[in-house]
Chain A
Amino acid sequence: MSNKHSGFSKPILAVIVLLGIGLLTSAIMIWWPPSPWSDAEKALIASLWIGNLPPVPDNPANNVATNADAAELGHALFFDPRLSSNAQFSCASCHQPEKRFTDGLAKARALGQSRRNTPSIVGLAYSPWLYWDGRRDSLWSQALSPLEDPQEQGSNRMAVARLVTEDVDYAVLYETVYGGLPDFSNQDRFPENAGPALVPGFKSEWARAWEDMREEDRDLVNRTFANVGKAIAAYERLLLPSASRFDEYARSIVQNNEAPGDIFNNNEEKGLRLFIGKGRCMECHNGPLFTNNEFHNTGILSAPGDLPDRGRIDGVREVKQHQFNCLGPYSDAAPNQCLELIHAREGVELIGAFKTPSLRNLQGTAPYMHKGQIVGLAETLDHYNTAPFAMIGHNEAENPLGLLPYEVNQLEAFLNTLSAPIAVDQRWLQAP
């Protein structure tokens, strides 16, 4: 009777009822207050708290890593466009402080376009490996590469060594830091421009000039060049994250053993639960910097028009034979202090693998991934839902996460609680 009265047939009514139940369930799932944290969950949250971040590790390969004058010198060098061949590009051209030391581009652009996305520098002093493929093993050796890269600053080590020893302000600081100032005034021995042929065909006259130099003169230039990198590294070590809203939440759990109600909203708290649980994010994004600084193939597709990038498999070979590595002649470390380099693994797992980035301060650092392939956070999370086959190598995250759309929103809400200013005085975030 009532069916006739309402005008619905039985099947339609059943569908409406089911839809209603479904909607109600979803609404309850989304709005239901989170359950209290278990002790195991509290421990996981504590492991991500910035208060558990140890002091910046020593870098035995860099004797001036914690030298205050070296940091001043490095600060000035970081912002100095004279370190490029056309005097237009400094480190800060791509590592822009206002964008958390990234550039907002898919791939870095200076003299030309480089191969990959500009990573942030904040907190990198904790990483044993630099670059997406880890082809350098210290901040200082990394800082040297863009200076001589034709697509980046396109200069040469002779010109850089000359600038840092002949500019009056630099010379004073350099001598203070390194206890001596090399003399490059003899033009017969030290040309204006010279450097090894790192890229075939690029500035062959610089390479010829380099070949013509005496070995001990090349060594002096290399040493001065390495010292430029060590000063820049001393500056970069200062760039650390500060406590975010998540850290306030975690601190309360660590110190008071309870989660306060007014720091996270419902969505953010559920996002945290997904982060430490179903989302399996902590398998790689772990520790107070939300990264294990290790290399993983997660099946990120290559950028349109690009061949698949081999990543770490090439990076590990390059770093092991690189002149400026921890075991090289310009490192300050004893060989037994280079444990990471000595024990760097190789093997097929590293094909198409890239370094896990920190998740602190994702806001303002898009696009993401090694070639900026993914524009937004929600799309990034969707990638792990899709778990595509890797184009080369094997996708370690091969099991789709099965996150529902509202769970993606919750995770994104949580990730946005990780933003906080850089923990240094403002003066370090601009040219001196």
Chain B
Amino acid sequence: MTTRKFLQTLIILMPMLSASGYAQQQEVDTWQSANGLYSVMVKSDLNPITINQIHSWTLQLTDAQGQDVTGAGITVKGGMPEHNHGLATAPSISSQGNGSYQLQGLRFHMPGYWELTLVITHEDVTDTVLITLNL
């Protein structure tokens, strides 16, 4: 099997492997912003992340040099692109100081592929972080 074929197979299989409802979400995960300006370390207070339970995440925001970014404005939007709908809740983000933010009020109400987009603005510099989950 060529590498490409293997990757294709993997991509096809991924949603099935993770459609378990008990997907093995890592406790801590780090995501890079689209233009590489920020990285966000995500820690969920619900492990593993399961459907139909409201919970919160802690976000640790750092810049490209790895320095904590405090006082950024962060908004969150999310949903299931395959089903053309948004989140079941209206989550909020509050700053906890030292580059730490609390994302409160998340609840995923369907198994499947979810996307969350964080729009991060700090000192007039904006970048977005796409976080994906399979539940």
CA of A164 to CA of B36 in the docked complex: distance in angstroms?
Answer: 64
**Contact status A343-B90, CB under 8 Å:** yes
CB of A349 within 8 Å of the partner chain: yes
- Count of interface residues, chain A, beta-carbon cutoff 8 Å: 25
Mark A290-319 against chain B: 1 for CB-CB distance below 8 A, else 0.
Answer: 001110000000000000000000000000
Q: Does A283 contact B (CB under 8 A)?
A: yes
Mask, A276-289, CB within 8 Å of B = 1, is 00000011101100
Residues of B within 8 A of A282 (CB): 110-111
Nearest B residue (CB) for A282: B111
Residue of B nearest to A57 (CB): B53
| Interface check A175, CB cutoff 8 A | no
- Tell me, rounded to whole Å, the shortest Cβ–Cβ distance linking B101 to chain A: 16
- Does A115 sit at the interface, judged by CB under 8 A? no
A292, B110: Cβ atoms under 8 Å?
yes
Question: In the complex, which residues of chain B have a beta carbon less than 8 angstroms from the beta carbon of A43?
Answer: 19-22
Q: Which chain A residue shows the least CB distance to B16?
A: A40
B71 contacts chain A at the CB level, 8 A cutoff: no
A342 within 8 A of B: yes
The stretch among B62-70, B81-89, B116-124 that forms the contact with chain A is: B81-89
Interface string of A388-413 (1 = CB under 8 A from B): 00000000100000000000000000
Say whether A347 faces chain B, with CB atoms less than 8 Å apart: yes
Q: Contact size class for B?
A: 20 to 34
Closest to A339 in B: B54
CB contact between A344 and one of B17, B19, B89 (< 8 Å): that residue: B89
Within 8 A of A (CB), among B103-135: 104-105, 107, 109-112
Residue numbers in A under 8 Å from B112 (CB-CB): 283
Q: How far is the CA of A128 from the CA of B53 in the complex (A)?
A: 10
Bound-state Cα–Cα, A419 to B110, Å: 23
Asked if B96 is at the interface of the complex by the 8 Å CB criterion, the answer is no
Distance from B51 Cβ to chain A, minimum over Cβ atoms (Å): 6
* List of A residues within 8 angstroms of B21 by Cβ: 43-44, 46-47, 286
In the complex the two chains form, is B52's CB within 8 Å of A292's CB? Answer: yes
Which chain A residue has the least Cβ–Cβ distance from B106? A343
B98 at the interface (CB under 8 A from A): no
A189 contacts partner chain B, Cβ-Cβ < 8 Å: no
The answer for the CA separation of A295 and B54 in the assembled complex, in Å, is 15
Give chain A nearest CB distance to B20 CB in angstroms: 3
Residues of chain B with a CB closer than 8 A to A343's CB: 54, 89-92, 104-105, 107
Residue of A343, A344, A396 most packed against chain B (CB within 10 A):
A343
Q: State A128–B20 Cα separation when bound (angstroms).
A: 24
* Closest chain A CB from B31 CB (angstroms): 22
CB of A219 within 8 A of chain B?
A: no
Over the window 39-71 of chain A, the binary record of Cβ atoms lying under 8 Å from chain B Cβ atoms (1 yes, 0 no) is 010011011000000000000000000000000
Confirm or deny: A208 has a beta carbon within 8 angstroms of a beta carbon on chain B: no
B52 near A293 (CB under 8 angstroms)?
yes
Query: Does A98 count as interface, using CB distance less than 8 angstroms?
Result: no
Q: How far is the CA of A346 from the CA of B89 in the complex (A)?
A: 8
Asked whether, in the complex, the Cβ of B54 is within 8 Å of the Cβ of A284, the reply is no
| Chain A residues, Cβ within 8 Å of B89 | 340, 343-345
Q: Contact flags (1/0) for B40-63 with A, using CB distance below 8 Å?
A: 000000000001101010000000
Known: A40-B16, A44-B19. A396 touches B54 (CB 8 A): no
Give A343 to B87 CA distance when docked, in angstroms: 11
Q: Which residues of A contact B87 (CB under 8 A)?
A: 345
Q: Are B20's CB and A396's CB within 8 A?
A: no
Q: A43-B22, A339-B104 are in contact. Are A284 and B110 (CB under 8 A)?
A: yes
Q: Indicate whether A396 sits within 8 Å of B51 (C-beta atoms), given known contacts A284-B110, A292-B109, A294-B109.
A: no
| A338–B109 CA distance with the chains assembled, in angstroms | 18
In the bound complex, how far is the Cα of B85 from the Cα of A232, in angstroms?
36
Residues of chain A lying within 8 A (CB to CB) of residue B84 = 396
How many angstroms from the CA of A284 to the CA of B109 in the assembled complex?
7
In the complex, residue of chain A having the shortest beta-carbon distance to the beta carbon of B13: A40
A349/B104 in contact, CB under 8 A: no
Taken together as a complex, chains A and B put the C-alpha atoms of A316 and B124 apart, in Å, by 35
- What A residues does B109 contact at CB under 8 A? 284, 286, 292-294
* Sample of 16 more A-B contacts, CB < 8 Å, known A343-B105, A345-B87, A396-B83: A38-B16, A44-B20, A282-B111, A284-B110, A286-B52, A286-B109, A286-B110, A292-B51, A292-B52, A292-B88, A294-B88, A342-B104, A342-B105, A343-B91, A344-B89, A396-B85
Would you mind naming 17 contact pairs between A and B with Cβ atoms under 8 Å apart? Answer: A44-B19, A44-B111, A128-B54, A286-B52, A286-B109, A286-B111, A292-B109, A293-B109, A294-B52, A342-B92, A342-B104, A342-B105, A343-B90, A343-B105, A345-B90, A396-B84, A396-B85
4 closest A-B pairs by CB: A343-B105, A43-B20, A47-B21, A292-B109
